[in-house]
Amino acid sequence: MSAVSLKTLCDTYTAHHAQSLADCEHIREAYMFAQQAHHGQKRASGEEYFTHVAQTALQLAQWRLDATSIIAGLLHDTIEDCAITPQIIKEKFGEEILFLIEGVTKLGKLQYKGKERGAESLRKMMLAVTHDLRVIFIKLSDRLHNMKTLSHLPVAKQRRIALETSEIYAPIASRLGMQNVSGELEDLAFPYTHPDQYLWIKKNLKESYEKRNQYVLQVRAIVEQKLKETNIHPITIDSRAKRVSSLYKKLVANDMDIERIYDLVALRIIVHTVEECYLVLGAIHSLWKPLPGKIKDYIALPKINGYQSLHTTVFCVDNKPTEFQIRTQEMHEQSEHGAAAHWFYEITKNTKSYAKNISQKAGEKDSSIVKQLQEWQNQFPGSQEFTDALKLDLFSDRIFTLTPRGEVIDLPIDATPVDFAYRIHTEIGDSCIGAKVNGKIVHLDYRLQSGDIVEILTQKNKKPSESWIHFVKTKYATRKVKNAIRKKTALPQKTEYKIICEARIGMVKDILSVLSRNRIPLISINTFENERFPMIKILVDISERKKAEQLFLKLRKVDGVREINLRMVE
Ligand code: MN
């Protein structure tokens, strides 16, 4: 495959952007620059390296991103893989482009090594350290092309990259509402993460492929006729085969029985208006009975990532359950391109200026990015404001730090190395004497930042300092420090004596008088009747061994005492 031509790239860009002559000139410069920079470099596939960055840029143009993103896409590997310095990029293409490229490079360094516990944190961290969604779009486009050419890499590398793609990048794309990208990444990763299952599915699906195709054509003809009668003119009706990766998930849930999967075939109907969506749904239900519980109105109640559509599964021709998805063109675009589509709609629309302050949103947690974007959409209608909004911290209440081994530890904002230490393990927190952040020694009250690599220095038998309570951020660490301090001052504080003695009148009185003569406070006294000799157990306020032994000798002299045990207790 030869590289995407400059013409194709610019044509794709201008198809969605007005007044873009100057932009095209900038894209041309970057195109030539990247071609020159990567000259002579080859991909593992044997292709010119430049094909990779050109393809990355084209994908960004297809997502309708701005010229800045496309240029950064062309240049994204020049600093990392060529002898180009950040300074040169800054001089030739400006600070914004450099910022995007460095963001992409930074993301590349956060690698997922397959630790279950880290996946969600790593996803969040990637979004948090990015500060500009365009960095994520470029990275997704880069990854998409890398996945398409993955077969040329060594097997171990294939597995790692495929795992990272399905655990980290596909979910990020999904969270950004880019369902199509997410699904494509999953599908590209699947043969590498599940090689045997992939072959099994391919074999078993192939046999039924022709039959299904016939069936779809039959259903489609009936639907077209019905819509014509109802005077609805859909933009498109198409059928799709289920993605291999999502099919596998369904198969697992259905005992690997392909006959039990209802929606091996789904038809998608795109119409002009929301009203038409509901009319089409009605028309389909008048043809075939719906399966109970399978009607989903994601138009009235969009999914958390912003997805909108009507879904229904009906007992269709020959009573075969078949799924229909009905949506408008705009909803379709949204589901294909997600946040990237939003980004585009946003910068091309311009109306009134925003009134509310974005900081009001800072307290909200766990709301999806797309939901946030939708809220911002109302608040930042002009292009610059919206771009600025995208640069805000998407997780303003959390920071994401790393252990030296690359495990992600997420903490509240302003957390310190002590919070970090206690998050890892109580013992690490208790024995913490110092910390290194990104290789440099810092004070224990240092405020950690997202992306910091934190190394805790410990010393055996060290106890926490009371002063820590004043600067630790998490309640967890505060409680742990208090516990440790209480232990430190409380150790060991009491002495217990078990006295075996004869059963004689005045025994207890004589023991107590030994205590009072020596001015030793009694904490408790208990007597136990045994078969032969009673036992008296006393607990006294003695915290020193030496003192405890002196009392021991005095108690031994009491008339009738046969045996004494002493024990220091906390
Ligand atoms: Mn790349």
Dihedral of CA atoms 423, 425, 427, 431 in degrees, nearest 10, equals -50
Residue 361 pLDDT > 60: no
Higher pLDDT: 250 or 457? It is 457
Q: How confident is the model at residue 353 (pLDDT cuts 50, 70, 90)?
A: very low
> So what's the pLDDT on residue 492?
62
Convert the pLDDT of each residue in 497-514 to its tens digit. Answer: 999 988 888 888 899 999
Average pLDDT of the residues in 24-53 = 94
Q: Write a three-state SS string for 170-209.
A: HHHHHHCCCHHHHHHHHHHHHHHHCHHHHHHHHHHHHHHH
**CA 164 to centroid of ligand 1, rounded, Å:** 15
Per-residue DSSP letters for 516-554? Answer: HHTT--EEEEEEE--SSS-EEEEEE----HHHHHHHHHH
Lowest mean pLDDT among 29-43, 141-155, 454-468: 454-468
Three-class secondary structure of residue 297 per DSSP = strand
**CA 542 to centroid of ligand 1, rounded, Å:** 71
Higher pLDDT: 143 or 65? It is 143
**CA 41 to centroid of ligand 1, rounded, Å:** 13
Give dist(CA 177, CA 171) in Å, integer. 10
> So what's the pLDDT on residue 381?
44
**CA 80 to centroid of ligand 1, rounded, Å:** 9
> So what's the pLDDT on residue 6?
92
Q: How confident is the model at residue 319 (pLDDT cuts 50, 70, 90)?
A: confident
Q: How confident is the model at residue 179 (pLDDT cuts 50, 70, 90)?
A: confident
> So what's the pLDDT on residue 365?
33
**CA 120 to centroid of ligand 1, rounded, Å:** 24
Convert the pLDDT of each residue in 154-165 to its tens digit. Answer: 998 999 999 989
CATH topology agreement for domains 6-178 and 395-489: no
CATH topology of domain 196-337: Beta Polymerase; domain 2 (3.30.460)
> So what's the pLDDT on residue 263?
62
The percent of residues above 70 in pLDDT, for the chain, comes to: 81
> So what's the pLDDT on residue 124?
67
> So what's the pLDDT on residue 355?
21
Asked whether the beta carbons of 128 and 449 are under 8 A apart, the reply is no
Taking all residues of the chain, what is their mean pLDDT, rounded to a whole number?
81
Residue 363 pLDDT > 50: no
**CA 140 to centroid of ligand 1, rounded, Å:** 10
Do strands 236-241 and 265-271 pair parallel, antiparallel, or not at all (unpaired)? antiparallel
Residue 515 pLDDT > 80: yes
> So what's the pLDDT on residue 345?
46
**CA 73 to centroid of ligand 1, rounded, Å:** 8
Average pLDDT of the residues in 432-454 = 89
> So what's the pLDDT on residue 385?
46
Q: How confident is the model at residue 242 (pLDDT cuts 50, 70, 90)?
A: low
Average pLDDT of the residues in 334-351 = 54
**CA 162 to centroid of ligand 1, rounded, Å:** 15
Residue 93 pLDDT > 90: yes
Enumerate the domain spans of the chain.
6-178, 196-337, 395-489, 494-569
Q: Which CATH number fits domain 6-178: 1.10.3210.10, 2.60.40.10, 3.40.50.620, 2.130.10.10?
A: 1.10.3210.10
Higher pLDDT: 335 or 481? It is 481
> So what's the pLDDT on residue 532?
76
Nearest to 137 by CA among 188, 82, 181: 181
Convert the pLDDT of each residue in 41-51 to its tens digit. Answer: 999 989 999 99
> So what's the pLDDT on residue 393?
37
> So what's the pLDDT on residue 254?
74
**CA 43 to centroid of ligand 1, rounded, Å:** 10
CATH topology of domain 494-569: Alpha-Beta Plaits (3.30.70)
**CA 370 to centroid of ligand 1, rounded, Å:** 26
Asked whether the beta carbons of 267 and 256 are under 8 A apart, the reply is no
Average pLDDT of the residues in 235-246 = 78
**CA 27 to centroid of ligand 1, rounded, Å:** 18
> So what's the pLDDT on residue 360?
28
**CA 544 to centroid of ligand 1, rounded, Å:** 68
> So what's the pLDDT on residue 241?
63
Give dist(CA 399, CA 393) in Å, integer. 10
**CA 150 to centroid of ligand 1, rounded, Å:** 12
Give dist(CA 147, CA 145) in Å, integer. 5
> So what's the pLDDT on residue 318?
84
**CA 564 to centroid of ligand 1, rounded, Å:** 78
**CA 138 to centroid of ligand 1, rounded, Å:** 9
Residue 362 pLDDT > 60: no
Q: Which CATH class is domain 395-489?
A: alpha beta
**CA 242 to centroid of ligand 1, rounded, Å:** 29
Residue 235 pLDDT > 60: yes
Higher pLDDT: 249 or 564? It is 564
**CA 401 to centroid of ligand 1, rounded, Å:** 25
> So what's the pLDDT on residue 392?
37
> So what's the pLDDT on residue 312?
93
Higher pLDDT: 553 or 392? It is 553
> So what's the pLDDT on residue 240?
67
Query: Residues 426, 427, 432, CA angle at the centre, nearest 5°?
Result: 105
* Active-site residue list: 80-81
Lowest mean pLDDT among 186-200, 273-287, 288-302, 388-402: 388-402
The percent of residues above 90 in pLDDT, for the chain, comes to: 38
Contacts of the segment 166-172: beta carbons below 8 A, 24+ positions apart? 166/190, 166/193, 166/245, 167/112, 167/114, 167/119, 168/112, 168/119, 168/122, 168/123, 168/126, 169/139, 169/140, 169/143, 171/119, 171/123, 172/123, 172/126, 172/127, 172/136, 172/140
Lowest mean pLDDT among 16-20, 68-72, 258-262, 422-426: 258-262
